[in-house]
Each structure stands twice: as C-alpha cells, then as structure tokens.
Structure 1
Amino acid sequence: MQSVQSVQSVRPVRPVAVPAADAGGRSVLEGAFGLLGALERAQVAGLTRLAADCGLPKTTAHRLLEQLVDLGAVERCAGGYRMGPRLFRLGQRWQPHPGLRAATWESARRLAQLTGAMVGVNVLREGQTLVLDWTAGEPDTVRDRLRHDVVWPWFTAAGKVLVAGAHPRLPVGPQPAAWEREAAVVREEGVAFDREELVTGVCCVAVPLKGPGGVTVAALSVVTDSGHRLDRLADVVQRAGRAISAGLRSR
C-alpha cells in the first residue's frame, strides 16, 4: 500500500493556462499579488469581495485564485479564501541581511529570559516597522495587547532607530517637526524609546543592529509594560545589540 506522502506527491495539478494580461491590461503577476494583498488585509474573503477590492473581473479573479490554491499560496475555507501554508513557509525563510536570523536568535532568547519581556528583531520596509521575529519572555504581560502584529508604523522605538540611521530621504510619510532633533539624539545615544506612544500600557526600548561598515541593518527591541524602568532596560539591550552587531560583522 502506498503511503499518504507518496500518494500526495503524485497528485495531479490542474494545468495552468493564463493570458499575459487580464481584461484591464494588468499583468497576471499584478493581479495575483493584488489578490494576495487583499487577502492580507481581509484575512478571509469571498470571490466577489476580492475581485472588487482588486478591480478585477470575477472570472479573472476566480482563475487566479484557483491557480494560487494549486500552488499552495492560497487555500479555500468556509468564508471563501485565505492565505495558504506555502506563503507562510516562504516568508519564514526571508531575511533582509545574510545571517541575521542566525545571529539574533540566541541573544534574543537570552534577553527575553533575562528581562521577562518580549524581544523583537525589526526591519524597515515600505515606510513601516516590520517585525522579523518575536521572542516571548516569562511572564508575558504584553502579548495580548500587541496581538503579535508584525507590521507597525515607522515611529515605533525600533522604527525610530532604523529611520534615524537611514538615508535622509527615506520615504516614511509625514514626520513631526521635532523629529530631526529626536533623530540626532537617537544617533548619538544609540537607543530609542516608546513610552506608551502607540499602545496604552506598552513601552519599548530599541537599539540598532549594525553589519559590515557600521550600516544599520535591523533593530533589536524589548517590549514591556509601563511598570518597567526603560532607562535600566536600555543598558541591557545595548549590550545585547553590540554583541549581535559583532556577530553580524564577523559574517
């Protein structure tokens, strides 16, 4: 008797036959990524809503969605469609700098144990703070309030560190009038803070992670409740950041 794995491995995949562009002149890739973006926002949605959100004919949207299902990028569910496991697996492999995940994993784990806080490794993409990895401390006092979101505005503590060390014309949207002065302080002190600026009861300390040439490639952040002294946490986080940066430079 064939094993389940061997049967699944030879399951036929529906042939893909698509035109170079849909009726509106958009490329197939644009249409497919538009649908994926709509699913990212909605989490679960039906064909009619997805087609309307993307400005695609329903027949085109249906064809693209079914092809994405065949590829494992989307899966069917009771509400219509949702993201598929293949995108999750591919996303877990992404890192913006070679060796970043390997260089940060052990230090982030130790920092979470030492502080009892959530530790994040963050990068800046499309004007937003993107959390590459979360490591939860014990006890975890802020997880429910953060909902483990992975995309935040640029002005998180981690985002401040990243924007302060980035190109001056980096597109991050409107900046407060006092930002230039604050950015200069962040660069000089090598640390940024969020004192309940985004989420009530949640505070954050972040430091830059620097690769070869001293270029900031990511930020290390510790997220905790408002009962902690951020100035005391800052020294611990800075030491961890320097150790990770040394590892990144050696790679």
Structure 2
Amino acid sequence: MPSADTGGRSVLEGAFGLLAAVEHAQVAGLTRLAADCGLPKTTAYRLLEQLVDLGAVERFAGGYRVGPKMFSLGQRWEPHPGLRPAAREPARRLAQVTGAMVGVSALWEGQTLVVDWAPSAPDDTRDRLRDEVTWPWNTAAGKVLVAGAHPRLPLGPLPATWQREAEAIRDRGVAFDREELVAGVCCVAVPLTASGGSPVAALCVVTDPAHRLDRLADVVQRAGRTISARLRGGAL
C-alpha cells in the first residue's frame, strides 16, 4: 500500500484502511493497526489521532475502536433514497401482525447487508440475530435480490440447483430459507422495487419452523407491495 504521505488519495486510502482494520479487530493498538495496513507507525498514529478528533475512531482500553461518528453515519446509509422512511411503518405493522422479526436488506459486495430491523417480542431469542449486520448472500433476502439482479452479480461459483431456484423465485416473487443458515430460524423474503422495476432491497420476515412459510409469504408480499408503492411515489 502506498505511503499515506505521498498524496491526497493515499492519505484517504490510509485512513479508510485504518478504519477497516479497527472495525475488523474491534479493539486494537497502534502497532497492530499499522502492521495490518502496511503503514509506518508515525503515519498510522497521525491518521488515527485525526480520526479520533473527527469522532470516527475513539481510544479504548489502550487501543482504538470504531467511534460514534461512524455509527451515526452508518445509520443514515440506505441503498435507495427514501427506503428507510418508506419501509418503517409497514415493517413495524408486519412485525406486529406476524409476531416475527422483520428486516430490510440489500446486497453489498456479494453479501446480504441488513439495513434495518423491526423487532418482534423483546424476549424473542431471534433478537440475537440483530447483532449480525452482514450475512452470506444466500439468505432468503439475498436470494430474492440475486434472482432479480441484472447483470449477474460477482458471487463466485453458484450451486448447481441455483438456476432452477432463481426461476422459481422470479415466478412467485418470494424466496425462502428453511433453517439453511441458522438452526431453528426460517425466513421469507420479497423484493422491494423502485421506479424501473428493479429490486433495490428486500423485505424479510424471520420466524421459527412452526410457522407455515407459504401462508406467511402472502402477508409479506402485501407489505412489500406497500413499501414499493411508497418508493415509486404511488398510492399507499
């Protein structure tokens, strides 16, 4: 990696590299972070202290961790303008009606990225899943987005059965996860579309195997149509 002293772009690369290293390590000292990023310790220290001043990083337990500014900025990110406000109330109602967790997700670097959650009951053991922001692409939410993606996304080798499954997802407009990733957890997901008809995100309900997913899919699809209409500026 170029030295962070060699130009404006390299300074940014160094700063973002340090942010990524801090996020990966959760808490780490200067020596480790500098080594992880291939930076001189003096350069890493200067950049980290600037990031501390900006609130992007904070000092913790003799090292550094991600700061509150990054959390604040991350909470404002969304894969499509207006997605959060469009989904907030329909997702909340869906969580109330189904008694399940409801999530809004997008595809990011070949993974399922959770943008927001509408939780179910406070003591629901599935709430532990809220701590995970990224999941493999083959969640129900990821599958419904990959099936509708064009051009083909760089996901690496796909399962031999994927083409047939993707066709079924496109035909019905819904994808399922029957304990494929987490034991005791099932999911139903539908695409959320904006102008042009391409999926920009997915609405996903996380429940348990006792629920009939086919029946649940109808309720999720109705909520998805409401959110998509809001994204297109149509009637609610």
Shift of the alpha carbon at 1:25?
Answer: 11
Equivalent position of 1:201 in the other structure:
184
CA distance in 2: counterparts of 1:177 and 1:86, whole angstroms:
43
1:156 counterpart = 2:156: no
Match runs of 1:1-251 below 5 Å: 21-22=4-5, 27-138=10-121, 140-144=124-128, 146-250=129-233
Give the aligned residue type for 1:142: R
CA distance in 2: counterparts of 1:212 and 1:220, whole angstroms:
17
Contact kept, 8 Å, 1:24 with 1:56, in 2: the verdict is no
- CA 1:90/1:99 → structure 2, altered by over 3 Å: closer, same or farther? same
- CA 1:216/1:111 → structure 2, altered by over 3 Å: closer, same or farther? same
- CA 1:25/1:55 → structure 2, altered by over 3 Å: closer, same or farther? farther
Shift of the alpha carbon at 1:79?
Answer: 4.3
- Max Rg structure: 1
Shift of the alpha carbon at 1:24?
Answer: 11
Decide which moves more: 23-32 or 193-202.
23-32
Deviation sequence 1:53-85 (CA, Å, 0-9, x none)? 111121111111001001110000114101111
Deviation sequence 1:104-153 (CA, Å, 0-9, x none)? 00001011111111100001111111100011012523112x25211111
Residue identity over aligned pairs, in percent, reads: 76
- CA 1:196/1:79 → structure 2, altered by over 3 Å: closer, same or farther? farther
Stretches of 4+ moved more than 4 A in 1?
23-26
CA distance in 2: counterparts of 1:33 and 1:243, whole angstroms:
38
Q: How many residues align?
A: 231
Give the aligned residue type for 1:141: T
The two structures have a TM-score, normalised by structure 1, of 0.87
Contact kept, 8 Å, 2:4 with 2:13, in 1: the verdict is no
CA distance in 2: counterparts of 1:89 and 1:244, whole angstroms:
24
Deviation sequence 1:11-42 (CA, Å, 0-9, x none)? xxxxxxxxx83379970111111111111111
TM-align CA RMSD: 1.8
Shift of the alpha carbon at 1:43?
Answer: 1.1
Point out where structure 2 has 5 or more consecutive residues left out of the alignment. none
Shift of the alpha carbon at 1:194?
Answer: 0.7
The two structures have a TM-score, normalised by structure 2, of 0.93
Find the residue that maps to 2:191 and give its secondary structure.
strand
Give the aligned residue type for 1:151: T
Deviation sequence 1:204-238 (CA, Å, 0-9, x none)? 10000011121111100001122222112111101
Equivalent position of 1:7 in the other structure:
none
